[in-house]
Protein backbone atom coordinates (compact mmCIF):
# COMPACT_ATOMS: atom_id res chain seq x y z
CA UNK A 1 0.00 0.00 0.00
CA UNK A 2 2.81 2.43 0.85
CA UNK A 3 4.45 1.77 -2.50
CA UNK A 4 1.13 2.35 -4.25
CA UNK A 5 0.53 5.64 -2.42
CA UNK A 6 4.06 6.81 -3.18
CA UNK A 7 3.67 5.97 -6.88
CA UNK A 8 0.32 7.77 -6.98
CA UNK A 9 1.85 10.89 -5.40
CA UNK A 10 4.68 10.91 -7.96
CA UNK A 11 2.23 10.45 -10.83
CA UNK A 12 0.11 13.33 -9.53
CA UNK A 13 3.16 15.57 -9.36
CA UNK A 14 4.11 14.69 -12.94
CA UNK A 15 0.62 15.48 -14.18
CA UNK A 16 0.83 18.87 -12.49
CA UNK A 17 4.20 19.58 -14.06
CA UNK A 18 3.03 18.62 -17.54
CA UNK A 19 -0.03 20.86 -17.18
CA UNK A 20 2.05 23.93 -16.35
CA UNK A 21 2.83 26.40 -19.09
CA UNK A 22 6.35 25.93 -20.41
CA UNK A 23 8.91 28.61 -21.32
CA UNK A 24 9.47 29.18 -25.03
CA UNK A 25 12.98 28.77 -26.46
CA UNK A 26 14.17 29.92 -29.87
CA UNK A 27 17.50 29.96 -31.68
CA UNK A 28 18.10 33.40 -33.18
CA UNK A 29 20.72 34.36 -35.76
CA UNK A 30 21.28 37.99 -36.75
CA UNK A 31 23.44 39.80 -39.29
CA UNK A 32 23.14 43.54 -39.05
CA UNK A 33 24.42 46.96 -40.02
CA UNK A 34 21.45 48.83 -38.61
CA UNK A 35 21.75 52.59 -38.20
CA UNK A 36 20.99 54.01 -34.78
CA UNK A 37 17.39 55.26 -34.53
CA UNK A 38 17.35 58.92 -35.58
CA UNK A 39 13.80 59.41 -36.77
CA UNK A 40 13.93 56.90 -39.65
CA UNK A 41 10.53 55.70 -40.80
CA UNK A 42 9.71 52.14 -41.79
CA UNK A 43 7.05 50.11 -43.57
CA UNK A 44 6.39 46.36 -43.26
CA UNK A 45 5.90 44.13 -46.30
CA UNK A 46 5.30 40.42 -46.72
CA UNK A 47 8.26 38.53 -48.18
CA UNK A 48 5.73 36.09 -49.62
CA UNK A 49 3.28 38.02 -51.87
CA UNK A 50 0.61 35.38 -51.19
CA UNK A 51 0.43 36.56 -47.57
CA UNK A 52 0.36 40.27 -48.32
CA UNK A 53 -3.41 40.77 -48.08
CA UNK A 54 -4.16 38.26 -45.33
CA UNK A 55 -5.56 39.29 -41.98
CA UNK A 56 -3.18 36.84 -40.33
CA UNK A 57 -0.16 38.61 -41.79
CA UNK A 58 -1.58 41.97 -40.70
CA UNK A 59 -1.81 40.67 -37.13
CA UNK A 60 1.82 39.55 -37.04
CA UNK A 61 2.99 42.68 -38.85
CA UNK A 62 1.40 44.76 -36.09
CA UNK A 63 3.56 42.95 -33.54
CA UNK A 64 6.72 43.71 -35.52
CA UNK A 65 5.57 47.30 -35.97
CA UNK A 66 5.20 47.68 -32.22
CA UNK A 67 8.67 46.26 -31.58
CA UNK A 68 10.31 48.47 -34.22
CA UNK A 69 8.63 51.50 -32.66
CA UNK A 70 9.73 50.39 -29.20
CA UNK A 71 13.40 50.38 -30.21
CA UNK A 72 13.12 53.87 -31.72
CA UNK A 73 12.04 53.69 -35.37
CA UNK A 74 8.90 55.44 -36.60
CA UNK A 75 6.05 53.77 -38.53
CA UNK A 76 5.57 55.42 -41.91
CA UNK A 77 2.30 57.30 -42.36
CA UNK A 78 2.57 57.93 -46.12
CA UNK A 79 3.58 55.94 -49.18
CA UNK A 80 7.31 56.35 -48.62
CA UNK A 81 9.50 55.06 -45.80
CA UNK A 82 13.22 55.16 -45.08
CA UNK A 83 13.33 51.45 -44.29
CA UNK A 84 11.45 48.43 -45.62
CA UNK A 85 10.91 45.56 -43.18
CA UNK A 86 10.21 42.23 -44.90
CA UNK A 87 8.50 39.58 -42.80
CA UNK A 88 7.82 35.88 -43.30
CA UNK A 89 6.88 32.95 -41.05
CA UNK A 90 6.10 29.24 -41.34
CA UNK A 91 5.77 25.97 -39.45
CA UNK A 92 6.56 22.54 -40.90
CA UNK A 93 4.49 19.33 -40.88
CA UNK A 94 6.31 17.94 -37.86
CA UNK A 95 8.47 14.91 -37.19
CA UNK A 96 7.81 12.04 -34.81
CA UNK A 97 10.12 11.61 -31.82
CA UNK A 98 10.49 8.73 -29.38
CA UNK A 99 11.54 9.13 -25.77
CA UNK A 100 12.39 6.34 -23.33
CA UNK A 101 12.14 7.58 -19.77
CA UNK A 102 14.14 4.77 -18.14
CA UNK A 103 17.45 6.44 -19.00
CA UNK A 104 16.07 10.00 -19.28
CA UNK A 105 17.19 10.19 -22.90
CA UNK A 106 15.42 12.54 -25.27
CA UNK A 107 16.79 12.77 -28.83
CA UNK A 108 15.39 16.31 -29.03
CA UNK A 109 17.59 17.33 -26.07
CA UNK A 110 20.58 17.63 -28.38
CA UNK A 111 19.93 20.90 -30.10
CA UNK A 112 21.20 21.11 -33.71
CA UNK A 113 22.37 24.68 -33.04
CA UNK A 114 24.71 23.55 -30.25
CA UNK A 115 27.41 21.67 -32.12
CA UNK A 116 29.87 23.76 -34.04
CA UNK A 117 28.80 27.03 -32.43
CA UNK A 118 30.89 29.32 -30.29
CA UNK A 119 31.00 28.71 -26.57
CA UNK A 120 29.49 32.14 -25.99
CA UNK A 121 26.37 30.89 -27.78
CA UNK A 122 25.31 29.14 -24.56
CA UNK A 123 26.64 31.59 -22.01
CA UNK A 124 23.57 32.56 -19.95
CA UNK A 125 22.63 36.15 -19.22
CA UNK A 126 19.39 37.70 -18.09
CA UNK A 127 17.50 40.50 -19.85
CA UNK A 128 14.54 42.19 -18.21
CA UNK A 129 11.63 43.10 -20.52
CA UNK A 130 7.93 43.88 -20.34
CA UNK A 131 7.16 40.16 -20.07
CA UNK A 132 9.54 39.69 -17.14
CA UNK A 133 12.99 38.18 -17.29
CA UNK A 134 14.28 36.55 -20.45
CA UNK A 135 17.19 34.16 -20.35
CA UNK A 136 19.62 34.69 -23.21
CA UNK A 137 21.86 31.68 -23.73
CA UNK A 138 21.79 28.47 -21.72
CA UNK A 139 19.82 25.40 -22.75
CA UNK A 140 16.33 24.36 -21.79
CA UNK A 141 14.27 21.54 -23.26
CA UNK A 142 10.68 21.59 -21.98
CA UNK A 143 10.08 18.09 -23.35
CA UNK A 144 12.64 16.63 -20.98
CA UNK A 145 10.24 17.21 -18.09
CA UNK A 146 7.17 15.62 -19.63
CA UNK A 147 5.27 12.45 -18.64
CA UNK A 148 7.51 9.53 -17.74
CA UNK A 149 10.23 11.61 -16.06
CA UNK A 150 11.34 10.23 -12.73
CA UNK A 151 12.28 6.62 -13.45
CA UNK A 152 9.14 5.07 -14.94
CA UNK A 153 10.10 2.61 -17.66
CA UNK A 154 7.97 4.12 -20.39
CA UNK A 155 8.10 4.97 -24.09
CA UNK A 156 6.46 8.09 -25.40
CA UNK A 157 5.92 9.07 -29.02
CA UNK A 158 5.26 12.67 -29.90
CA UNK A 159 5.46 15.05 -32.84
CA UNK A 160 7.90 17.97 -32.91
CA UNK A 161 7.17 20.96 -35.14
CA UNK A 162 9.81 23.42 -36.35
CA UNK A 163 8.67 27.01 -36.72
CA UNK A 164 10.60 29.88 -38.26
CA UNK A 165 10.35 33.64 -38.54
CA UNK A 166 12.47 35.60 -41.05
CA UNK A 167 12.99 39.35 -40.82
CA UNK A 168 14.94 41.41 -43.38
CA UNK A 169 15.37 45.19 -43.32
CA UNK A 170 16.51 47.22 -46.33
CA UNK A 171 17.18 50.87 -47.02
CA UNK A 172 14.47 52.07 -49.40
CA UNK A 173 16.65 54.53 -51.28
CA UNK A 174 19.17 52.02 -52.61
CA UNK A 175 17.99 48.57 -51.50
CA UNK A 176 20.95 48.11 -49.16
CA UNK A 177 20.38 45.19 -46.80
CA UNK A 178 20.77 46.34 -43.19
CA UNK A 179 19.45 43.39 -41.20
CA UNK A 180 18.92 39.68 -41.73
CA UNK A 181 17.41 37.73 -38.87
CA UNK A 182 16.03 34.24 -38.37
CA UNK A 183 14.31 32.86 -35.26
CA UNK A 184 13.64 29.11 -35.12
CA UNK A 185 11.96 26.99 -32.49
CA UNK A 186 10.95 23.38 -32.00
CA UNK A 187 7.80 22.56 -30.06
CA UNK A 188 4.88 20.19 -29.85
CA UNK A 189 2.61 23.00 -30.99
CA UNK A 190 2.00 24.03 -34.61
CA UNK A 191 -0.37 26.90 -33.81
CA UNK A 192 1.07 29.97 -35.56
CA UNK A 193 -1.06 32.32 -33.46
CA UNK A 194 0.98 31.12 -30.49
CA UNK A 195 4.33 30.54 -32.19
CA UNK A 196 4.75 33.74 -34.22
CA UNK A 197 4.28 36.20 -31.31
CA UNK A 198 6.91 34.26 -29.36
CA UNK A 199 9.28 34.23 -32.33
CA UNK A 200 8.81 37.99 -32.72
CA UNK A 201 9.63 38.49 -29.04
CA UNK A 202 12.74 36.36 -29.42
CA UNK A 203 13.85 38.25 -32.53
CA UNK A 204 13.60 41.60 -30.77
CA UNK A 205 15.28 40.55 -27.53
CA UNK A 206 18.45 42.64 -27.56
CA UNK A 207 17.63 43.90 -31.09
CA UNK A 208 19.50 44.41 -33.37
CA UNK A 209 22.14 42.38 -31.56
CA UNK A 210 25.74 41.85 -32.60
CA UNK A 211 26.61 41.19 -36.21
CA UNK A 212 26.87 37.48 -37.10
CA UNK A 213 25.67 36.34 -33.68
CA UNK A 214 23.70 33.23 -32.81
CA UNK A 215 21.93 33.16 -29.46
CA UNK A 216 19.34 31.03 -27.73
CA UNK A 217 16.50 33.06 -26.26
CA UNK A 218 14.24 31.61 -23.56
CA UNK A 219 11.02 33.50 -22.87
CA UNK A 220 8.59 33.18 -19.96
CA UNK A 221 5.28 31.48 -20.80
CA UNK A 222 2.89 33.57 -22.91
CA UNK A 223 -0.83 33.45 -22.19
CA UNK A 224 -2.87 31.88 -24.95
CA UNK A 225 -5.83 33.79 -26.36
Task: Please give the pLDDT value at position 100.
Answer: 76
Strand-pair partners of 126? 135
Q: Fill in the DSSP letter of residue 200.
A: H
Q: Kindly report the number of other CB atoms within 10 A of residue 130's CB atom.
A: 6
% of the chain with per-residue pLDDT over 70:
66
Q: What residues make up the domain containing 105?
A: 2-219
Tell me if 225 is assigned to some domain: no
Distances (CA, A) of 152 to 15, 102, 155: 13, 6, 9
Q: Has residue 79 got a pLDDT over 80?
A: no
In a domain, 112, yes or no: yes
Q: How many domains, the chain? A: 1
C-beta of residue 105 within 8 angstroms of C-beta of residue 74: no
The reply to whether 224 falls in a domain is no
pLDDT band at 102 (very low <50, low <70, confident <90, very high): low
Q: Is residue 76 part of a domain?
A: yes
pLDDT at 72: 97
Measure Cα distances from 98 to 20, 94, 144, 157 in Å: 22, 13, 12, 5
Out of 56-65, 98-107, 186-195, 209-218, pick the least confident: 98-107
129 inside domain: yes
Amino acid sequence: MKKFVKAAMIAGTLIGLSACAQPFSANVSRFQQMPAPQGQTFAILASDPAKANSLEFAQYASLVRGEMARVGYIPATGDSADLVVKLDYAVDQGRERVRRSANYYDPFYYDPFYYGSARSFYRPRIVRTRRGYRYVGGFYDPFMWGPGYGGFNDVERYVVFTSELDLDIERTANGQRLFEGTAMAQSRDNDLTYLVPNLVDAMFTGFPGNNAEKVRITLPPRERR
